[in-house]
Chain A
C-alpha cells in the first residue's frame, strides 16, 4: 500500500528555526548567519564589525565550531557576549543548537546577534537557523571561482564579503571574474571588498550592517 506523505525533510529543523526567529523578534534582535570557508576570516569580520558598531549597538556572538572554544575565547577578550556551540562532528549549525544557546545570552542587551557557522561552503546551506540575514564570507586566496563551484551558498546569501583584498597582488585571484560570476548568480546581493588587515572596505560593510539594524537604538 502506498501512503502519500509530502512532508518537508527538514520540517523539524524549520519549526525550531521559527521558534528562534520568534524569540529574537520578540527581543528586537537582528541576527546574521555568517558562513564561509575555514580561514576566510569569519571571526575577523565579526571582530571588525563589533569594533565599528559597539558604541551604537549591543552585539553578541554565537560561535559554531566542530571542536574547541578558541574563537569564543578570542572574541570574549574584546568584551563581547559570546556563547560557544560545539557541534560534536556535525558540519553545520542547526536551529536546535542555536535555540539551546539563546538562554545563555542576555538578549535584553543585544541588538545584533552574529552567528558564526562552521567553516564550510556546502553543508550549512540547507539549515535555517532562524537568522534574519545570511552573510557569505569568501577571501582572495581561495580563488575567484568559489561562487561558481559552490553556487547554492552564494545564491542564498543576502550579502557577500570578499575578504583579504590586500593579498590580491600575491594570489591567483581574478577580481573581474569573481564580481561577474557573483552578479550573475546573485545580482541582488551587495558585495563588500574588504581587508581586516588594512581596514579597507570595512566602513562600507559596517554602514550596510547599520542600515539593516534600522531604527534600533543601543539597548541597556
Chain B
C-alpha cells in the first residue's frame, strides 16, 4: 500500500520536470525499480492511472524497468548474484558485501509533447 506514496512522488517528479520543460502533455514516464525493493510494479500501474487523472500526465504510460539484484564482495572484489537469499560472498565467504544493483528506485525519463 506504500506504493500509493511512491506513485505520488513519481507523478510529482514527472509533472514538475514536464512543467520545467514547458511541455503541454506528458505521454510516458519511465522508472527504474530494483528487484530488491519493497515495490510491486503492478501496484504502481494501478495508482499511476488514478493519480495522473486530470493532470498534464493523464493517459500517460508508465514503463517500469526492473533491475536485477547483484553484489560485489568488499574483501575479494568478486561480482556475484546472491542466490537463495544468501549475502555471503560465494568465492571467499566474506559477509562484507555491497549490493551493486537491485535497490534502484528512480524516475529515468519522461516523454513530453
Q: Chain A: residues with CB nearer than 8 A to chain B? A: 1-13, 90-92, 94, 122-127, 148, 151-153, 155, 181, 184-188
Contacts and interface: CB of A to CB of B under 8 A. Distances in A.
A167 to B, nearest CB: 25
Contacts of A187: 87-88, 95
B49 to A, nearest CB: 17
B13 A7 contact: yes
B57 interface: no
B109 A122 contact: no
27 contacts: A1-B23, A3-B21, A3-B109, A4-B108, A4-B109, A5-B13, A5-B14, A5-B107, A5-B108, A5-B110, A7-B107, A9-B10, A9-B105, A9-B106, A11-B13, A92-B2, A122-B2, A123-B1, A126-B39, A126-B105, A148-B85, A152-B36, A152-B37, A152-B38, A184-B85, A185-B86, A185-B87
A184 B86 CA distance: 4
Contacts of B23: 1, 3
Contact of B111 (A2, A91, A92): A2
Contacts of B10: 9
B60 interface: no
B55 to A, nearest CB: 16
Given A9-B10, A9-B31, A126-B105, A186 B87 contact: yes
B107 A181 contact: no
A152 B36 CA distance: 7
Contacts of A5: 13-14, 17, 106-110
Given A11-B13, A188-B96, 4 more contacts: A2-B109, A3-B21, A9-B13, A153-B38
A127 B2 CA distance: 9
B73 interface: no
Contacts of B86: 184-185
B9 interface: yes
A1 B87 contact: no
Closest 5 A-B residue pairs measured CB to CB?
A: A187-B95, A123-B2, A184-B86, A125-B38, A5-B107
A3 B6 contact: no
Nearest to A13: B9
Most buried by B among A9, A124, A148: A9
B43 to A, nearest CB: 11
A10 B87 contact: no
Interface string B25-55: 0000001000011110000000000000000
